[in-house]
Structure 1
Amino acid sequence: MTKLKDPNVLNGITLAYVGDAVYEVFVREHLVVTGIVRPKQLQNTATKYVSAKAQAALITKAQEDEILTATEQEIFLRGRNAKSYTHAKNTSVGTYSLSTGFEAVFGYLKLDRQDERIAELANWCITQVETGALHGYKFN
């Protein structure tokens, strides 16, 4: 096994690859703990948290509320600006780029072993979705 690279030198797509899994596991665990156990209901509910549109709204609100650190903001920009040759179905390139930046933040934090910060941000995201705080954010 090779040594883990410094997350500060990894590209945004690589960070997003890790961050996608980190955030999704956090959300899945939250949904099961809250009592949702049927697979179809889990999948439908998870989409409210982990879709590209939801992630774009969450990162936009996080920036407006100024909850990201300077480093997290830099990582977001690295992910958002990364050249990707794919994008999510039913979503614009701009929305997909914002979502990639969102995921890059979680990937960076995981590889930097900042588990408490991951929990803090993920819980903030869950609260935003559950309280309807994203209703004014429309992404396509």
Structure 2
Amino acid sequence: MLSQGITKPGELQKTAVKFVSAKAQAFLISEMEKDDILTEEELVYFKRGRNAHSKTTAKNTDVVTYRISTGFEAVFGFNHLTHKHDRVAFLADYCLEKISEQI
């Protein structure tokens, strides 16, 4: 964002939320499913993360969106913990591209 000239704190915050919010993560998972990006194994971890019981509640979104975003994070966590760094980079690039299209 800084390289794009976004330097004011308020503007940075507003733009960053578009990348990291539960709504953005839920959107990205739907795009990944639509584009058939996720492997079978990643889908398993997405569903496990999505269905896991959480002790925290959503602050700015509904419970369903919050759970989907938790599954999204589980996919990245699974790939990171299994040292699939190229896969993490691929998924991150995919997500950045999809979000950038929406801005």
Identify the residue that residue 6 of structure 2 maps to in structure 1: 36
Alpha-carbon separation, structure 1, partners of 2:77 and 2:9:
26
Q: 1:45 Cα shift?
A: 0.7
Greater relative contact order structure (CA < 8 Å, 6+ sep): 1
Q: In structure 1, what residue type is equivalent to 2:61?
A: T
Alpha-carbon separation, structure 2, partners of 1:33 and 1:111:
30
Assess, with a 3 A threshold, how the Cα gap between structure 1 residues 115 and 36 changes in structure 2: closer, same or farther: farther
Q: Secondary structure at 1:90's aligned position in 2? A: coil
Greater share of helix: 2
Does residue 60 (structure 1) correspond to residue 38 (structure 2)? The answer is no
Give the TM-score normalised by the residue count of structure 1. 0.68
Alpha-carbon separation, structure 1, partners of 2:12 and 2:69:
21
Identify the residue that residue 90 of structure 2 maps to in structure 1: 120
Q: In structure 1, what residue type is equivalent to 2:45?
A: I
Q: 1:109 Cα shift?
A: 1.0
Q: In structure 1, what residue type is equivalent to 2:93?
A: N
Structure 1 stretches of 4+ with a deviation exceeding 3 A read: 32-35
Alpha-carbon separation, structure 2, partners of 1:62 and 1:47:
19
Q: 1:34 Cα shift?
A: 3.5
Give the TM-score normalised by the residue count of structure 2. 0.90
Identify the residue that residue 16 of structure 1 maps to in structure 2: none
Alpha-carbon separation, structure 1, partners of 2:35 and 2:29:
10
Which consecutive unaligned segments of at least 5 residues does structure 1 have?
1-30, 134-140
Query: Identity percentage over the alignment?
Result: 50
Identify the residue that residue 81 of structure 1 maps to in structure 2: 51
Q: Secondary structure at 1:66's aligned position in 2? A: coil
Identify the residue that residue 137 of structure 1 maps to in structure 2: none
Alpha-carbon separation, structure 1, partners of 2:39 and 2:30:
14
Identify the residue that residue 49 of structure 1 maps to in structure 2: 19
Does residue 130 (structure 1) correspond to residue 84 (structure 2)? The answer is no
Which consecutive unaligned segments of at least 5 residues does structure 2 have?
none
Candidates 43, 61, 66, aligned match of 1:91: 61
What is the aligned residue count?
103
Q: In structure 1, what residue type is equivalent to 2:44?
A: E
Q: 1:37 Cα shift?
A: 3.3
